[in-house]
A and B are shown apart, each in its own frame.
Chain A
Amino acid sequence: MLCAFLVMKIKDPRAMQDIQGVGIGLRHRHFKEFIEDKPNVPWLEVHTENFFSQDSTAAKYLREIRKVYPMSAHCVGLSLGSANTTCPVREQHLQKLKRTIDWLQPTLVSDHLSWSASDGVHYLPDLLPIPFTEEALKIVTQNINRVQDVLQRQILIENPSSYLNFLESPLPEYEFLSTLVENTSCGLLLDLNNVYVSAHNQDFDPLNYIENIPLAAVKEMHLAGYSIDHIEGKDVYIDTHGQRVYEGVWQLYQQAIKRFGAIPTLIEWDSDVPELSVLLEEKSKADVIVNNIINEQVK
């Protein structure tokens, strides 16, 4: 099927900007540093929902920063896994997103394989899991197609982190994602922290997971930190994005670079956001890993 987004006309040359290397998630507390100091970061990622008010102070900062840095747009509110596919709240959200994407002209746009709205009445600001069933596959396919049709572009779907197993979930997560790629021509955003967190919580092999992700579909990777909660005698890894990247995730990143190549990678930090220098240190670590592996492969 030739989707509408494949024949879109690019109106703004900034949309053609490539993003390469290791970028950083742009957060409010670093706005001024990016405007005044212009730190050497190849690209930035923003949470689009923070810029829905187009004249807002935050949006004014972003427009200034956008003049210098290529961007990717990361969404958290499309609720692609919601069973109620015609929920008006979600449709309003999609229209606001479109307006933001139209002026931001990001290179990549992504959201999660998750849901947060039910019946258009309640919204839970979290990335909630879905069971990997044929019914869910049909629903998520429909929702992704709707978003891509409205935005007139490909979106990337991020693998979720999860803390529970549904009893009725016959498809492995990587197979569910692979089928979504086939059904919708979407791309994938591989969050290695999420793979690591879910692998621990759900007891699967993270390496086997990334080996089963379709090679050409991965357009971006995320690295972040998690926290550990002790619940009923068990250690549960929680995807808080409020820490440095853990060693196990760095190791998984090495394997991912070997498999997928030097895919654009983001250092993501959402809660208790530290000084920019901390994010730049994490970025440097990722740069070293990528460079070492690429150099080895060249030899």
Chain B
Amino acid sequence: MTTLAKLQRNFISDCLSGKLTEENTRLAKDIDTQSISASGLMGIYQTSAIGNIINSMKLTYPVIEKLVGDVFFRAMCKQYILSHWPKTANMDDYGSDFAHFLSEFEHVNHLIYLEDVARLEWLFHQSSLANDALTTDWKLLAKVSESEVLKLKFELAPSVVLIKSDFPIEKIWRMNQLNAPQEETIEILDSETLLLLYRDGFKIEMKSLSKGEFELLGSFLYGKTFEQAIKISTDAENDFSIQVALNKYIEQGVVCGFAH
């Protein structure tokens, strides 16, 4: 008799094997195949599992689904799944490589912005899952001496994401939300986008950034000192007001703390 462990190994192997045939179906000798062949039966489970993963991907990538249509989205996801089976039962973690997959998926080569839109949707999803920021007593900042302030490292909330794209991914994303007003045309080329995502209560906010803002927050993200962040952001944008930007991001909870 086949042990349960071996039977389960064979079961998984059949479901992950891609195209099933009677010759390659390892579970064949353990199941009743009088009415339906072993490959037919295992195909039911393979299809069901793939369908469950696609349902999860539809929640993470609704704009990609809308852009390519339901039928194509399902077919595209199936190709992805066959080479990226989940490792855990937590489907919130699934689909991180989808943007990269799209960049190499020849059937969508003409949709040159698709990879970046997928990246935006994955990061939006991650932002929605992030931990809340710890509270900071900002009065303590006033007690830091002027020379020490420059050495501080400001911290960003866990939900903060910065995205840079050569395409107008924010416009594309907004146009494909439920009940969104339709713009007549979107200029795809020469539309560099700098974006900030962060969670405010129940909602993920998406804001366009200037170059100075992007570099300031990016500097904080990569652990630069305040002095370094000032230099990088003012180099990127003439007349960039650090004070205005910092106050705004502290108020919004984007900058959530500081460390010496």
Contact = CB atoms under 8 A, between A and B. Distances in A.
Given A55-B132, A166-B31, A128 B202 contact: no
A148 B32 CA distance: 34
B48 interface: yes
Contacts of A270: 55
A206 to B, nearest CB: 19
Interface stretch (A16-24, A133-141, A182-190, A291-299): A133-141
Contacts of A96: 90
Contacts of A234: 35-36
B88 A93 contact: yes
B131 interface: yes
A57 B126 CA distance: 10
A164 B38 CA distance: 9
Contacts of B132: 55
Interface string B1-26: 11111011101100110000000000
A116 B89 contact: yes
B51 to A, nearest CB: 7
Interface string A276-296: 000000000000000000000
A277 to B, nearest CB: 17
A235 to B, nearest CB: 11
Contacts of A131: 4, 7, 30
Interface residues on A, range: 35 or more
A116 B85 CA distance: 12
A167 interface: yes
A84 B5 CA distance: 7
Interface residues of B, number: 50
B108 interface: no
A172 B94 CA distance: 36
A241 to B, nearest CB: 10
A249 interface: no
B242 interface: no
Given A130-B4, A168-B30, A234-B35, A60 B201 contact: yes
Given A93-B88, A126-B52, A271-B51, A136 B41 contact: no
Nearest to A97: B89
A20 to B, nearest CB: 30
Q: Is the contact region of chain B dominated by helix, strand, or loop, or is it mixed?
A: helix
Interface in B92-106: 92
B4 A136 contact: yes
Contacts of A124: 12, 15-16, 45, 49, 85-86
Which of B1, B52, B132 gathers the greatest number of chain A CB atoms within 10 Å?
Answer: B52
Nearest to B89: A77
A238 B35 CA distance: 16
Contacts of B201: 60
B4 A56 contact: no
A58 B202 CA distance: 8
B40 A231 contact: yes
Nearest to A203: B35
A118 interface: yes
B44 interface: yes
Which of A53, A58, A229 gathers the greatest number of chain B CB atoms within 10 Å?
Answer: A53
A61 B202 contact: yes
A133 B132 CA distance: 47
Given A124-B49, A164-B31, A89 B88 contact: yes
Contacts of B202: 57, 60-61
Nearest to A117: B89
Nearest to B44: A163
Given A125-B52, A130-B4, A77 B85 contact: no
Contacts of B31: 164-167
Contact of B41 (A77, A121, A164): A164
A60 to B, nearest CB: 5
A56 B128 CA distance: 5
B3 A135 contact: yes
B32 A123 contact: no
27 contacts: A55-B130, A56-B130, A83-B7, A89-B89, A93-B90, A116-B89, A117-B89, A118-B8, A122-B87, A123-B87, A124-B15, A126-B49, A128-B8, A131-B30, A135-B3, A135-B4, A139-B4, A163-B45, A164-B36, A165-B31, A166-B31, A167-B32, A232-B37, A232-B40, A234-B36, A238-B48, A271-B55
7 tightest A-B CB contacts, nearest first: A77-B89, A83-B5, A165-B32, A83-B4, A53-B129, A126-B49, A57-B128
